[in-house]
A and B are shown apart, each in its own frame.
Chain A
């Protein structure tokens, strides 16, 4: 395995573990404070991320161990398309979040709202990446 690939994989794994731990701690604290809906959403997102992320990282580790690169020209293209699509979707997500925070969701403070925004945007990027990575004919995607 190349040193750069090793560093990239270790980085992704570390960030994933930190995000998961943050979600768990946040959910526990929120449960203690009597909240139920937002911690439940956080736990569901956490489980979803663990299952998908574990499968993804396991595949990448085994491929990298066999001498295949983590990133190649197709993955670069997939990431560019996914990032562009995720950007547009994130604008809609933030608009909906802003609207819902007045009507339906009560955030404890601005930092909680910011966290929901950042985690949501990260998830959107992850989902669009997985979607376009599986999609055939990435060259035919139009904006």
Chain B
């Protein structure tokens, strides 16, 4: 799974720490999410998308 979290984060000038605080997770969870090395729950995916003012489909790119 690829994510566009870093791209959207840069768009709103958020640091990983800012996003972690907004979503209510640890910073390292954001690091793993950005690398595409952690599959978030639907709730977390929704919260991250909401914090970055986008949709889950825009943010997470699923490979078959």
Contact between A67 and B39, CB atoms less than 8 A apart: no
Known: A74-B32, A136-B32. A69 touches B25 (CB 8 A): yes
User: Closest chain B residue to A72 by CB distance?
Assistant: B25
CB of B37 within 8 A of CB of A68, answer no
Give the one of B26, B32, B39, B40 with max A CB within 10 A.
B26
Alpha-carbon distance between A66 and B21 when the two chains are bound, in angstroms: 8
> What is the CA–CA distance of A69 and B26 in the complex, to the nearest angstrom?
6
CA of A72 to CA of B17, assembled, Å:
14
The main secondary structure of chain B at its interface with chain A is helix
Q: Are B38 and A138 in contact (CB under 8 A)?
A: yes
Number of interface residues of A (CB under 8 A): 15
Q: Which residues of A contact B17 (CB under 8 A)?
A: 66, 68
Please determine whether B44 and A73 come into contact, CB atoms closer than 8 angstroms: yes
Q: Which residues of A contact B35 (CB under 8 A)?
A: 136
Cα-based distance from A38 to B32 in the complex (angstroms): 40
A residues in contact (CB < 8 Å) with B: 63, 66-70, 72-75, 133, 136-139
